[in-house]
Amino acid sequence: MPEERVRTILSEEGIDLTVILPCDRTKELCSLLETYSQTITVMREEDAVGLCAGLCLAGKKPVVHIQSSGLGNMFNAMMSLTVLYHLPLPPILASWRGVYEEKIPAQVPFNIHIPGLLDVLGIPYTIISDISELEQIRDVIRDAYIHSRPHVALIIPKVWECSRCSVKGTIFPPARQRDVALSYTRRLPEPVMKRADAIKAVAEVLDDELIVSNIGVPGKELYAASDRDENFYMLGSYTQASPPIGFGISQGTERDVVVLDGDGSLLGTAILPVIAAEKPPQNLTIICLDNGGAFGSTGNQMTHAWSGVDMELYARAAGITHTCKVHTADELKCAWQNRKTGPCFIHVLLKPGNSDAKNIPLSPIEIKERFVGSFDRV
């Protein structure tokens, strides 16, 4: 059976976690993978890129299982994160849609051009068109991890037609009945700090925590406040900067992991419900730097947190129960010292505005190697 062959290959190649966004052509494979290893289901394919980046930084060996149309959502994250930092990413595309007896017209226009797009981007790929070629998945995984780069396996749906896999998709889902209760009253006080002040306050209470900073100015301000090997500075890949990477890192270490992210990028990711639902290790703290409800690094254009979304309530709605709201340096330090087991969400209300922090004088590879090396010193 092709599904069981894939499972065997993943096991023999040391894959210990599968990140999935399901495809209807591979329902049996998805179910089978859940019986073999830990699986995490994401809502957006680009979140899988950041999640796997964090997993790899922490020494885990993940693989991604999506349908090929999801590559369109992944390309920027792959180039500005995976390729930039020389990280492995082996997405196994369970079905190359749009090229074989495709009945959904919307799958055709993008998917027929995927090989050409991958060629332009310089991303290696392997086309698997028959069950006899499934062994090439092993080569895809090895190439990605040996050369620290993405490698895509485009698997034509014909491969799964001979399936007689006995593990089927869930027919009778578990009982969903539950009680949901929320009592929430907050006042959003007038901010007194700017983002650089909040980052400085966090830097002053750090010990051996691993910290991931958002793209743009926040990373520069963290570098200026306290440069440490344990700091992972994001230089690109909007919305992947913190929660997906920080979540991935927390899966591979017992050390505390801290995420510094902005209200704009947090509103742009679908990872918060995944973090809450997956019940990750109790060592993840997300610090939302809400700098006036604005895109701070691009000129303070308003985000929807300005007068609409309460970011703490947004985290609560996603399923994160340990949350708080602060607006002064003392409140932030107190929230840090009194934080409960994670995942925790600290909403920091700030005035808009950037400091004059300089560019980080480190290459992406230097940032990665320093960060990974810090794991060995504890």
Q: What's the mean pLDDT when you consider all of the chain?
A: 89
Same domain, 136 and 232: no
pLDDT grade, residue 344 (50/70/90)?
very high
B/e letters for 295-309, b = 16+ CB within 10 Å, e = fewer, are bbbeeeeebebeeeb
Same domain, yes or no: 14 and 137: yes
Largest CA distance in the chain: 65
369 and 239 part of one domain: yes
Q: Are strands 284-291 and 301-302 parallel, antiparallel or unpaired?
A: unpaired
Same domain for 132 and 13? yes
In the chain, the percentage of residues whose pLDDT exceeds 90 is 65
CA distance 280 to 284: 8
User: Which pLDDT score, from 0 to 100, does residue 354 have?
Assistant: 84
Residue 171 has pLDDT above 70, yes or no: no
Quickly state the pLDDT bin for 280 (edges 50, 70, 90). low
Are 211 and 303 contained in the same domain?
yes
Higher pLDDT, 202 or 236: 202
For residue 172, being part of any structural domain is answered with no
pLDDT tens profile 104-149:
999 999 999 999 999 999 999 999 999 999 999 999 999 999 999 9
Here the CATH number for the domain that contains residue 138 is 3.40.50.970
* Predicted pLDDT of residue 177: 87
Same domain, 156 and 87: yes
Q: How many angstroms separate the CA atoms of 185 and 181, rounded? A: 13
pTM of the model: 0.92
- What is the tally of structural domains in the chain? 2
DSSP three-state, residue 344: strand
Which residues make Cβ contacts (< 8 Å) with residue 202, sequence separation at least 6? Answer: 211, 258, 260, 287, 332, 336
Average pLDDT over residues 28-41: 86
Asked if residue 208 and residue 131 are part of one domain, the reply reads: no
Categorize the per-residue pLDDT at 53 as very low, low, confident or very high, splitting at 50, 70 and 90. very high
- Mean predicted confidence (pLDDT) in 181-205: 92
Question: Residue 179 domain-assigned?
Answer: no
Find the mean pLDDT for residues 157-173.
68
Predicted pLDDT of residue 75: 94
Report yes or no on 224 lying in a domain.
Answer: yes
Q: Which of 233-247, 249-263, 286-300 has the highest mean pLDDT?
A: 249-263
pLDDT at 187: 86
Average pLDDT over residues 215-244: 87
The CA R_g of the chain, rounded to the nearest whole Å, is 21
**Which stretch of 9-18, 146-155, 169-178, 193-202 has the lowest confidence by average pLDDT?**
169-178
pLDDT band at 236 (very low <50, low <70, confident <90, very high): confident
Average pLDDT over residues 15-35: 87
pLDDT above 90 for 331: yes
Q: Which residue segment(s) compose the domain that 29 sits in? A: 2-162
- 122 located within any domain: yes
Query: What does the pLDDT read at residue 196?
Result: 95
Specify if 190 maps to a domain: no
For residue 304, the model assigns a pLDDT of 64
Shared-domain flag, residues 90 and 226: no
Share of the chain above pLDDT 70, in %: 91
183, part of any domain: no
* Residue 170 falls inside a structural domain: no
What DSSP assignment string belongs to 137-168?
HHHHHHHHHHHTSB-EEEE-GGGGGG---S--
pLDDT at 327: 94
Cα 133 from chain centroid (whole Å): 30
Can you tell me the mean pLDDT for 209-226?
93
